[in-house]
């Protein structure tokens, strides 16, 4: 089957060297970069927003995989699309109108993703599964990098895989939070096609290229 897409989370990179960090990812042959936007409301932390995405876009050809951890993301979808997002993933808990939000992303010509917190029942995303290009299973409570993987997430990935297969959906099944070279294979065996990793890549001994290689070895 298709090779697993790795989406390194820029949240864990050195922001003072953003351009070099992106160049290292590209040289390592990674196709995506994961961009974590936090507003201090939906999650208890503030990360970065539109100008940083625009700067990354300016210097990099990587697919910009934007994860919006913000209240009422509808307000900003247009701006993130304009700033260079290729995909926009919204949290089902962050809006009363998830169906409208994913529709707006597609109307903007971008790939629409939906995600949910570890405590949210999977049924919450069922009504929009046919309308998305990506489903993200959060495997930590969003807000911070470097947290421990929640083991029950593997079963949630397996269940989302069943839901997508039942629909005949080709959507990416992404996992984010505490993903490492050690748990990557179990996630892919459960049906994930796309893995986000921050600290496991940028915090690796030998740097991000070595971190990426560790994932490749684990998945080979
Ligand atoms: C968590 C973010 C993640 C985070 C992952 O709120 O959505 O993308 O950067 O970081 P690690 O891989 O260190 O858990
Ligand atoms: Zn994320």
- What distance in angstroms lies between residue 162's CA and the mean position of ligand 2's atoms? 23
The Cα 128–Cα 124 span in angstroms is 9
Substitution candidate for ligand 1 out of 44, 66, 177, 203 with most atoms within 8 A of CB: 177
Task: Report which ligand 1 atom has the smallest distance to the Cα of 201.
Answer: 12
CATH number of the domain encompassing residue 59: 3.20.20.70
The Cα 11–Cα 190 span in angstroms is 26
- What distance in angstroms lies between residue 220's CA and the mean position of ligand 2's atoms? 24
Number of domains in the chain: 1
- Domain coverage including residue 191: 5-219
pLDDT tens by residue, 179-220: 999 999 999 999 999 999 999 999 999 999 999 999 999 999
What residue owns the CA closest to ligand 1's atom 1? 142
Task: Report which ligand 1 atom has the smallest distance to the Cα of 180.
Answer: 12
The Cα 6–Cα 24 span in angstroms is 14
Task: Name 41's Cβ contacts closer than 8 Å, sequence gap at least 6.
Answer: 70, 71
Q: Which residues pair with 63 in a beta bridge?
A: 32
Task: Report which ligand 1 atom has the smallest distance to the Cα of 11.
Answer: 9
Which residues are marked as active site? 36, 176
User: Would you say the CB of residue 56 lies under 6 angstroms from ligand 1?
Assistant: no
What residue owns the CA closest to ligand 1's atom 6? 142
- What distance in angstroms lies between residue 149's CA and the mean position of ligand 1's atoms? 10
Nearest to 75, CA basis, from 50, 51, 56, 54: 50
Pick the ligand that lies closest to the CA of residue 87.
Answer: 2
The Cα 192–Cα 182 span in angstroms is 15
The Cα 97–Cα 86 span in angstroms is 21
- What distance in angstroms lies between residue 142's CA and the mean position of ligand 2's atoms? 7
> What local confidence, expressed as pLDDT, does residue 204 receive?
98
> What local confidence, expressed as pLDDT, does residue 2 receive?
85
User: Would you say the CB of residue 36 lies under 6 angstroms from ligand 1?
Assistant: yes
194-197, strands of its sheet edge to edge: 5-8, 194-197, 172-176, 134-138, 111-116, 87-91, 63-69, 32-38
Substitution candidate for ligand 1 out of 44, 137, 198, 214 with most atoms within 8 A of CB: 198
Residues (pLDDT < 50) of the chain are none
pTM of the model as a whole: 0.98
- The vertex-214 CA angle with 210 and 175, nearest 5°, equals 115
């Amino acid at each position: 089957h298709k090779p697993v897409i790795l989406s390194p989370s820029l949240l864990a990179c050195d922001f003072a060297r953003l351009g070099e960090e992106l160049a290292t990812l590209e040289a390592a042959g990674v196709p995506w970069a994961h961009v974590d936007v936090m507003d201090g409301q939906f999650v208890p932390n503030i990360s970065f927003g539109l100008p940083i995405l625009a700067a990354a876009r300016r210097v990099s050809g990587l697919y910009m995989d934007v994860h919006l951890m913000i209240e009422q993301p509808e307000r900003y979808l247009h701006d993130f699309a304009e700033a260079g997002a290729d995909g926009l993933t919204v949290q089902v808990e962050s809006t009363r109108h998830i169906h409208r939000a994913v529709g707006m992303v597609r109307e903007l010509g971008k790939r629409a993703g939906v995600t949910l917190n570890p405590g949210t029942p999977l049924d919450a995303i069922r009504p929009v599964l046919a309308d998305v290009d990506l489903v993200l299973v959060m495997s930590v409570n969003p807000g911070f990098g470097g947290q421990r993987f929640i083991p029950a997430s593997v079963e949630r990935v397996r269940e989302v895989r069943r839901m997508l297969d039942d629909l005949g959906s080709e959507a990416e099944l992404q996992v984010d939070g505490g993903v490492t070279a050690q748990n990557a294979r179990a996630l892919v065996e459960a049906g994930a096609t796309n893995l986000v990793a921050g600290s496991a890549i940028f915090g690796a001994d030998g740097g991000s290229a070595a971190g990426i290689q560790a994932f490749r070895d684990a998945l080979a």
